[in-house]
Amino acid sequence: GPISAISTIDGLLLVSIGAKIILFQYLEDELRGMAFYDAQIYIVSMTPLKNYILCCDLYKSVFFLRWKVPFS
């Protein structure tokens, strides 16, 4: 599907494809999917705030996701 929003958080690429959010990391000359989240809304905008992700939709307003680095 088409990418509806793109941003970065903690050196990771944050991509929204419709209602799915995927975090990619560039390792050894390739992009690898590190995490994903299936939202209930079609995401049109994402903004990282420290270790939170603010996701926006035109109909259901906004919601926050928390990103925690798994191996720190």
φ and ψ at residue 65, rounded to 5 degrees:
-120, 150
The per-residue pLDDT for 64 is 87
Q: How far apart are CA 49 and CA 34, in angstroms?
A: 19
The per-residue pLDDT for 60 is 74
The per-residue pLDDT for 9 is 85
Q: Among residues 11, 5, 9, which one has the least CA distance to residue 26?
A: 11
The per-residue pLDDT for 70 is 64
The per-residue pLDDT for 24 is 93
Which two three-digit tokens encode residue 14? 């944050």
Per-residue tens of pLDDT for the chain, all 72 residues:
788 889 988 888 999 998 899 999 988 899 999 889 898 888 888 998 888 889 998 787 888 888 776 655
